[in-house]
Structure 1
Amino acid sequence: MTEQVYARVSAGKGRGSDFAELLRRVREAGLLERRIGYYAVKTAVTAALLAGAGVLFVVLGDTWWQLFTAGYLAVVFTQIGFVGHDAGHRQILRRRRAGDLVGILHANALIGLSYGWWVDKHNRHHAHPNEVGRDPDVGAGALVFTAGQTARRGRLGRLAARYQAWYFFPLLTLEGLNLHYGSIKSLLHRRDRGALLESGLLVLHVAAYVTVLVLLLSWGRALAFAAVNQAVFGVYLGCAFAPNHKGMPGPSEQDAADFLRRQVLSSRNVRGGPVTDWVLGGLNYQIEHHLFPSMPRVNLKRARPLVRAFCAERGISYRECSAFDSYRQALRHLRSVGAVVEV
């Protein structure tokens, strides 16, 4: 969805017109303009980091020091994923086909994830953040986020839920594999032309990844490299996305009908400086990102004081905390849900 669509949905009498006013201020500040130069530099730097991983891999050769390369490559993969995320939100290019091509190359070809599957899933999250039954990111799975979800699980599942706060971070080591599985499962069921391109690029990624490991490393080291690479990739992705909504309340029925409040009240920002911005890929400005998903990442920091002041004017709670506190709140929520489970 674009900001123009949001404005038409939100414009009206009473509270619904608040977002239209905020949108006007953001537009006048020029914060929705594309930043092609920024993304050209960002893409070039990310490509250089990826090339550096390749050079390091070749120079080290068949040694256990390659596990360091595996961790470094996982960080690069996540940074590539952030660029694919921005492409999916039309932050880089306005034209859909051009933006999708950028996203597919970054997601399918470079990190082995289905761009189309992720965009569909992520758009549903953006439309209904933290709404159980509508937001796929709070659907019941290895973790449960509400007491109602625990009631529908078997005895073993309820027992696991009681200790979910303890295994949340260890579970993230499998998140990369989970995303690969979801990507492949989705592509196997799709019949559109885009799925053919995505499948081809994903197969190319897997073939290149496996071939390089097998040719340059012993089998044991190759398996260890893949395990460390995917584990660090999963933990990094999980730690980048978990602070944004986990532990935040779902919107009330009244607030869910109001776009501005639905997005702000279910999100939190993470305080920090340029390092935090880079490590979290701009997702630390989650409130601004949810309000204006097509706003270029580099402009989110500039939008923050404007949005924060606007929320203060309207009496809307605007949440910010440190990264450490965001994880603490997420774990506390998981623990509170598990504590009421009857085994």
Structure 2
Amino acid sequence: MCQEEKRKDKLAEYSWEEIRQHATKTDRWLVIEGIVYDVSIWAKKHPGGERIIGNHAGEDATDAWTAFHADKKMVMKYLRPLMVGRLRPEDDYEADLQKDFRSLRRQVEEMDMFKPSKLFFALTLGQLVVFELLAVAIFWYFGTGVIPYLVASIFLVTAQAQAGWSQHDFGHLSVFKSSKWNHRIHIFILNLFKGASSSWWNYRHFQHHAKPNIIRKDPDIRLDYLFMVGKTLPIEWGKKKKGFMPYNKQHTYFYFVLPPLLLPIYFNFEIPYFLMKTKNYWELFWMYSFFARYLLMFYPFVGFWGTFILYFFVRFLESHWFVWTTQMNHIPMEVDKEKGRDWVTMQLAATCNVDPSFFNDWFSGHLNYQIEHHLFPSMPRHNLAKVMPLCKSLCKKHGIEYTSKPLLTAFKDIVGSLKESGELWLEAYNM
């Protein structure tokens, strides 16, 4: 028996009842593969942010830990000193669904489904450059008349939207074996190419993946002051007479608020605020380098204020693309408080797919395979379709609903779910 195993055998044993008592802001234990870790102090140093650790305190975080960490040996070096015990043998069990899912993960690993295609990612990055160069060529050759301006804007919108999907690949460590290189390219695309922030994206996005559609744990559904989502919060707020908006009309004003304004207005305030608050001046520098780059590219054609207007016009159009695509997989699904579900059940309750096609795959950056992506966040997106039949079989075996729908139906369901939530709020408000 190796030293590591001997050490584990000597660890104190804890029941789930004891472990769940360590789930406060200053006292956090979690379980990974049957070993109990005290992450109370280390949580503040966690690269993914303190909140994601806090959201798993007192729980079995095995599947989340496995999903988010590509280099597990390296991560274990940080975890090993934090071991405080292990689960009691009678408490250390796997439900049938957990066993089958972990077996499925081992199967897809053996099938090399986590191995990226260099050609695929080279092409996805190459298209970003091509679309931007086409926009410059349009201005240079045809001038800045209405038609050339609109055509060039469409090319720029496409470049920015596709860059959004590309940064998502690197943010999930799906491209390189080295986390360092994934992070470097992530910063290059998101900060320099898109004018956003890698650290800000990581902070928000991994919370979303860890606890999708869970109230107070998923930042992507914190829309309370403008929109009510799901069925739980609208009723709660309605009964308490809370809210600043006519939520029963939210399916109407949605068109004029979230799709057109999220990127050009809200994100342009939230991201710099986040970087200033966290004193991440290095990323702030790279973020504002984007604007210097844009000015250098388009000043010769439209001048300073013309570049300013062009930027906001492109962001306005891109915001529609971004909002409809990112919300179609989640807003129509279950939005509720923490229920302590296992990894698979939790992810399937909060996500749905959009039917595969060449256009849907390209348009959404393969986010139409949202179920597979949430089950295996670090899997290269070109392999998600290959594991889809296996995920469907797992769901069928355990009686879990696997939802997939046409693209336009998915868009329609966003509005329909907002209408339903608004009506629930109004009904509870008038009780």
TM-score normalized by the length of structure 1 = 0.89
| Deviates further, 239-248 or 170-179 | 170-179
The residue that corresponds to 1:190 in the other structure is 278
| Equivalent residue, structure 2, for 1:232 | 317
Q: Which residue of 2 aligns with 1:13?
A: 94
* Counterpart position of 1:39: 121
Structure 1 unpaired stretches of 5+: none
Runs of 4+ in 1 over 6 A off after TM superposition: 1-4
Q: Which residue of 1 aligns with 2:33?
A: none
Identify which of 91, 99, 104 aligns with 1:22. Answer: 104
Find 2:394's aligned residue among 285, 301, 310. Answer: 310
For residues 267 and 101 of structure 2, what CA distance do their matches in structure 1 show?
34
Q: CA deviation at 1:25?
A: 2.2
Matches within 5 A, 1:209-288: 209-210=294-295, 212-217=297-302, 222=307, 224-250=309-335, 256-288=340-372
Q: One-letter code of the match for 1:327?
A: F
Q: Is the 8 A contact 2:354 2:369 kept in 1?
A: yes
| Residue-by-residue CA offset, 1:57-108 (whole Å, 9 max, x unaligned) | 3223232231332232112101011110110001111222110111110000
Q: Using structure 2 for the length normalisation, give the TM-score.
A: 0.72
User: For each residue in 1:45-66, what CA deviation from the matched residue of structure 2 results, as whole angstroms up to 9, or x when unmatched?
Assistant: 3222222222223223232231
- In the TM superposition, what is the alpha-carbon distance from 1:214 to its structure 2 partner? 4.3
Distance 1:19 1:252, change over 3 A: farther
Superposed CA deviations along residues 216-243 of structure 1, whole A, max 9, x for unmatched, are 2167755553332111110011121011
- Correspondences of 1:201-212 after superposition (within 5 Å): 201-210=286-295, 212=297
Q: Quote the RMSD (CA, aligned, Å).
A: 2.6
Question: Which of 124, 144, 150 is equivalent to 2:228?
Answer: 144
Over 3 Å counting, the alpha-carbon distance change for 1:151 and 1:97 in structure 2 is: farther
Match status 1:75 vs 2:158: yes
Q: CA deviation at 1:158?
A: 3.2
Q: Which protein is richer in helix relative to its size? A: 1
Question: 2 CA distance for matches of 1:47 and 1:227?
Answer: 20
| Separation of aligned partners in 2, 1:142 and 1:252 | 19
Question: Is 1:99 aligned to 2:187, yes or no?
Answer: no
1:119 corresponds in structure 2 to 202
Q: Which residue in 2 is equivalent to 1:90?
A: 173
In terms of mean alpha carbon deviation, does 330-339 or 125-134 score higher? Answer: 330-339
For structure 2, the residue ranges without an aligned partner over 5 or more in a row are: 1-47, 49-61, 73-91
Between the aligned residues of both structures, percent identity stands at 24
Q: Spell out, residue by residue over 1:293-325, the C-alpha distance to the aligned partner (whole angstroms, 9 max, x if none).
A: 100010011111111112111211111111111
CA distance in 2, matches of 1:232, 1:150: 34
Corresponding residue of 2:405: 321
Q: 1:223-276, CA deviations, whole angstroms, 9 ceiling, x for partnerless residues?
A: 55333211111001112101111110136855x430011112211000031111
Moved more, 273-282 or 324-333: 324-333
Tell me if structure 1 keeps the 8 A contact 2:215–2:337: no
**Matched letter for residue 101 of structure 2:** F
Task: Note the C-alpha offset of 1:17.
Answer: 2.3
For 1:166, the aligned partner's letter is T
Q: Hey, what does 1:158 align to over in structure 2?
A: 245
Query: Which letter does structure 1 place at the counterpart of 2:155?
Result: Y
Residue 146 of structure 2 aligns to a residue whose secondary structure is coil
Quote the residue 1:336 is aligned against.
Answer: 420
C-alpha separation in 2, matches of 1:301 and 1:35: 14
Give the superposition deviation at 1:109.
Answer: 0.2
Q: Take 1:6 and 1:23, find their aligned partners in 2: how far apart are those partners?
A: 10
Measure how far apart 1:12 and its partner are: 3.8
**Counterpart pick for 1:131 among 200, 211, 214:** 214
Q: Relative to 1, partners in 2 of residues 1:152 and 1:119: Cα closer, same or farther, differing over 3 Å?
A: farther
| Kept after mapping to 1: 8 A contact 2:225/2:245 | no
